[in-house]
Amino acid sequence: MTVTLLLVAAAIGVGSVHTVAPDHWMPFAVLARAERWSAKRTALVTALCGLGHVTTSVALGLLAVVSGRELFEVFGRRLESVAGLLLVGFGVAYAIWGLHRRMHERAHTHAHAHGVAQPPLTAWSLFLVFSADPCVAVIPLMFGATALGWTSTLAVVTAYELATIGTMVVLVLPARAAMHTIRGAWADEWGDALAGGVVACVGMAVLGFGI
């Protein structure tokens, strides 16, 4: 029982600490400002993407337990590097859409009055990006837990998932509130393009610093 509790505590630590990296919360905060998401919607989208993130991590951990740890740790690290590229790609695409929208509004002064649709499937696109970004640090913990039985493994997995998703939401909501304090016509006119640019910069930081 003592070893299980130590592994659970380690899982909570891993889940919480790795989530502090800006790629786990900043994209949601800036997109919440750009798309005018409510706090509830921001939390739901963040939790959904967090679920995809942790589910991929746990799936890799289970496969590593069955097939060999080293192979899936290497595979997980490769997925992490791809995830950074996907985040950059998402940010660039969103920024281009934002610029196109702004140019359209300038060319057609009544476009805003008639409404201009937000880009489709933004939340689901983020879900796919985060699902491709596992945390390989949980794999050794799962190895240790499986030696103690499936009850210990389930406890470690549950602690890791709740810590990761909970920390993401806790960090995103105040960041979203801070973003909504930004006022001015420029923020409304160019908000989408700026949000995409920030997401792309976060992705480049992930690639550059390996976070």
Per-residue model confidence (pLDDT) at position 113: 42
For 199, the token pair is 């997401």
Per-residue model confidence (pLDDT) at position 13: 93
Q: What is the pTM of this model?
A: 0.81
Q: What is the pLDDT along the chain (211 residues), one digit of tens a residue?
A: 688 899 999 999 999 998 998 899 999 999 998 888 999 999 999 999 999 999 988 888 888 777 766 666 666 667 666 778 888 988 898 888 878 766 766 555 544 444 444 544 678 888 988 888 888 788 888 888 888 888 999 999 999 999 999 999 999 999 999 988 877 676 667 778 888 889 999 888 878 776 6
Per-residue model confidence (pLDDT) at position 150: 86
Range of the domain at 18: 2-209
Report the number of secondary-structure helices (H) and strands (E) in the chain.
Answer: 9, 0
Q: How many independent structural domains does the chain possess? A: 1
Sign of CA dihedral 206, 207, 209, 211: positive
**Are 97 and 157 contacting, i.e. CB atoms less than 8 angstroms apart?**
no
For 38: left if phi > 0, alpha if psi spans -120 to 50, otherwise beta; the answer is beta
